[in-house]
């Protein structure tokens, strides 16, 4: 509802919260509209101003969720808890973004503590300088094991990390030579981790980065037209200054925050959907010395971002978090948190465990008959319950706002209440026709109230099972 206090359009706020966060409920959106759009963006870009989610509470309330440090489901449940409750939405979203791009998985190491630390590293550094992010990544035990840098020795190099840091984490294929890969690998020799104790029978312990001086190749290296006795940090300096790196990472940002691009392997042969947008972000990258916060400021404040509503398919984590935002659940520690992992797996995404170093395929590839069924049935299973706090709220809002009893207004108001969802003309006309068939809502008698409540529930079910609800 438009009031005098409003400074920013609700639907734009809702869009920002879906993209730069994990959605929001109606009241949160209204709260944010009191600020100017650019101020909200600044708040998001400076997460440290706001308190952290106290996810430690979870293990205090429910020791079973904290006791087993090996249990991924517990930790992924905690991550969902953060997505839903964070006061720092963009920080959490950047962690997920980098997890997509710098894809590191549990599967190879089966070592949960290092994966938990890995995600925390992404969370802490996600809006910093890209150089910092790559350095922290290269020193991350989960990544070192994932891409075999612990097997990368001065006397016998293992090229895996040297290759992927260029191909997948920075410049993209076609911008460097096989010799560059070898020399990058040489520069990272000796970057390894303290050997964790064997899993059986001791259980898992954290592992820490160490630099083994006597296993580092100090020789001269030629890398991207430069020559010197480079070490890993110097290689990362050179990588971060490349325009190819700016273009590749900015396209990733565009794909994740603005609009679904083709799958990454096609990028070397398919131009970006919006060259202008990429150019603008690259300019910001180069002017600000690879500062991700600056690039994100450019992105979030741009017209092309503001106009990009509802055109990316939600990934399963976004879908689940958005659904739970509407339901109003999980606002305090909840023993069901560790079940969210299996929900997400059934939709095709296991957090902390992407299918390969190439990350998840995104966009329409999230959807097949099985995953669509899971999505629709999950949303209905959660929201088809008039006693859930968020659903109760929606029913009361409609009931108390006489204008919304008019069928057409009823549909529009429902779309606002589930988070200012934009839907196609086709879907909208179907919903309005349905509402008109049943006439004006009434809450006069007990019987009327029951009928109207059922109509609200039905409209809610249809909106959350629509094609449009699959999008962000």
Partner 1 sequence: MTTKNKEPVLLVIQLSGGNDFMNTVIPFTSGVYFDNRPLVGIPENKMIPFTENLAFHPCAKSLKNLYDKGKVAIIQGIGYENSSRSHFRAMDIWHTCEPNHVATEGWLAKVIREIDPNSSNPVTAVNFGRGLPRALAAPGVIATSVGDLDNYGLMSEIEKEEEKIEDLEMFKRMYTPALGSGIVMDYLGETGRTVLTGADILAEAPINYSSTIEYSNNPIAKSLRDVARVHFAGLGTRIFYTNHAGYDHHAQEVPNHARLLTELTDAISDFMDDLDEHNASEEITILVFTEFGRRVKDNGSGTDHGSGGGAFIIGENVKGGLYSEYPSLNPSDWLYGEDLQHTIDFRGIYGTILQQWMGIDPHDIIGGDFEQISPFNKTLIR
Binding site for partner 1 (CB under 8 A): 105, 107-108, 199-201, 260, 313, 342, 345-348, 353, 355-356, 358, 361, 363-364, 367-374, 376-377, 380-381, 384, 424-427, 430, 434, 458, 461-462, 465-467, 470
Of 108 and 283, which has the nearer Cβ to partner 1?
A: 108
Residue 458 Cβ vs partner 1, minimum distance, rounded to whole Å: 7
114, 145 in Cβ contact below 8 A? yes
The whole-angstrom separation of Cα 301 and Cα 303 is: 7
Q: In the 8-state DSSP scheme, what is residue 211?
A: E
Of 396 and 424, which has the nearer Cβ to partner 1?
A: 424
Three-class SS of residue 209? strand
Of 33 and 466, which has the nearer Cβ to partner 1?
A: 466
Q: In the 8-state DSSP scheme, what is residue 338?
A: G
Of 332 and 339, which has the nearer Cβ to partner 1?
A: 339
DSSP 71-122: -HHHHHHHHHHHHHH-S-HHHHHHHHHHHHHT---HHHH--HHHHHHHHHHH
Of 71 and 241, which has the nearer Cβ to partner 1?
A: 71
Of 230 and 267, which has the nearer Cβ to partner 1?
A: 267
Residue 129 Cβ vs partner 1, minimum distance, rounded to whole Å: 31
Of 159 and 237, which has the nearer Cβ to partner 1?
A: 159
The whole-angstrom separation of Cα 83 and Cα 21 is: 8
Give the sign of the dihedral formed by CA 265, CA 266, CA 269, CA 273: negative
For residue 216 the two structure tokens come to 């580092």
Residue 403 Cβ vs partner 1, minimum distance, rounded to whole Å: 24
Residue 264 Cβ vs partner 1, minimum distance, rounded to whole Å: 12
Of 377 and 396, which has the nearer Cβ to partner 1?
A: 377
For residue 293, count other CB atoms closer than 10 A to its CB: 16
Residue 12 Cβ vs partner 1, minimum distance, rounded to whole Å: 23
Of 55 and 353, which has the nearer Cβ to partner 1?
A: 353
The C-alpha R_g of the chain, in whole angstroms, comes to 24
Residue 457 Cβ vs partner 1, minimum distance, rounded to whole Å: 9
Judge residue 141's burial from the number of C-beta atoms within 10 Å of its C-beta, 0-12 exposed, 13-18 middle, 19 or more buried: buried
458, 300 in Cβ contact below 8 A? no
Residue 10 Cβ vs partner 1, minimum distance, rounded to whole Å: 24
Q: Where are the beta strands (DSSP E) in 410-466?
A: none
Of 398 and 464, which has the nearer Cβ to partner 1?
A: 464
The set of residues, in sequence order, having a beta carbon less than 8 Å from that of 269 and lying 6+ positions away, is none
Determine if the peptide bond prior to 201 is cis (ω within 30°): yes
Determine the length of the chain: 472
Task: Tell me the C-alpha to C-alpha distance, in Å, between residue 435 and each of 25, 88, 272, 431, 457.
Answer: 24, 38, 41, 6, 12
The set of residues, in sequence order, having a beta carbon less than 8 Å from that of 365 and lying 6+ positions away, is 263
The whole-angstrom separation of Cα 379 and Cα 382 is: 5
* Residue of 244, 243, 188 lying closest to 216 (CA atoms): 188
């Amino acid at each position: 509802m438009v009031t005098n206090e409003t400074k920013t359009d609700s639907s734009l706020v809702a869009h920002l919260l879906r993209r730069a966060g994990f959605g929001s409920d109606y009241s949160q959106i209204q709260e944010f509209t009191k600020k100017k759009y650019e101020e909200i963006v600044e708040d998001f870009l400076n997460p440290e101003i706001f308190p952290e989610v106290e996810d430690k509470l979870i293990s205090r309330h429910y020791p079973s969720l904290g006791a087993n440090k090996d249990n991924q489901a517990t930790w992924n449940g905690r991550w969902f808890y953060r997505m839903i409750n964070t006061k720092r939405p963009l920080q959490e979203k950047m962690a997920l973004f980098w997890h997509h791009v710098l894809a590191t998985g549990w599967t190879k190491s089966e070592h949960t503590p290092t994966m938990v630390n890995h995600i925390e590293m992404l969370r802490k550094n996600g809006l910093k300088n890209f150089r910092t992010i790559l350095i922290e990544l290269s020193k991350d035990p989960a990544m070192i094991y994932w891409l075999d840098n612990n097997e990368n020795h001065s006397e016998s190099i293992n090229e895996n990390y040297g290759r992927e840091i260029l191909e997948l984490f920075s410049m993209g294929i076609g911008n460097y030579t096989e010799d560059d890969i070898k020399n990058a690998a040489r520069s990272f020799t000796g970057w390894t981790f303290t050997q964790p104790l064997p899993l059986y029978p001791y259980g898992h312990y954290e592992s820490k980065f160490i630099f083994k001086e006597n296993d580092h190749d100090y020789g001269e290296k030629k890398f991207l037209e430069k020559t010197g006795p480079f070490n890993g940090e110097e290689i990362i300096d050179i990588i971060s200054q490349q325009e190819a790196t700016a273009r590749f990472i900015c396209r990733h940002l565009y794909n994740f925050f603005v609009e679904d691009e083709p799958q990454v392997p096609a990028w070397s042969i398919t131009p970006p959907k919006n060259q202008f947008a990429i150019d603008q972000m690259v300019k910001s990258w180069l002017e600000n010395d690879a500062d991700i916060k600056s690039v994100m400021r450019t992105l979030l404040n741009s017209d092309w971002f503001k106009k990009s509503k509802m055109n990316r398919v939600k990934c399963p984590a976004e879908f689940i978090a958005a659904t739970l935002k509407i339901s109003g659940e999980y606002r305090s520690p909840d023993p069901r948190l560790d079940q969210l992992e299996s929900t997400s797996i059934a939709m095709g995404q296991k957090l902390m465990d992407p299918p390969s170093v190439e990350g998840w395929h995104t966009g329409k590839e999230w959807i097949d008959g099985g995953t669509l069924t899971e999505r629709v049935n999950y949303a209905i299973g959660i929201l088809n319950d008039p006693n859930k706090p968020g659903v109760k709220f929606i029913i009361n809002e409609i009931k108390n706002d006489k204008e919304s009893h008019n069928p057409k207004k009823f549909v529009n108001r429902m779309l606002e209440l589930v988070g200012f969802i934009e839907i196609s003309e086709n879907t909208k006309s179907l919903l309005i026709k349905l509402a008109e068939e049943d006439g004006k809502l009434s809450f006069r008698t007990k019987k009327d109230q029951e009928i109207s409540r059922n109509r609200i529930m039905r409209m809610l079910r249809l909106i959350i099972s629509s094609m449009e609800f699959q999008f962000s």
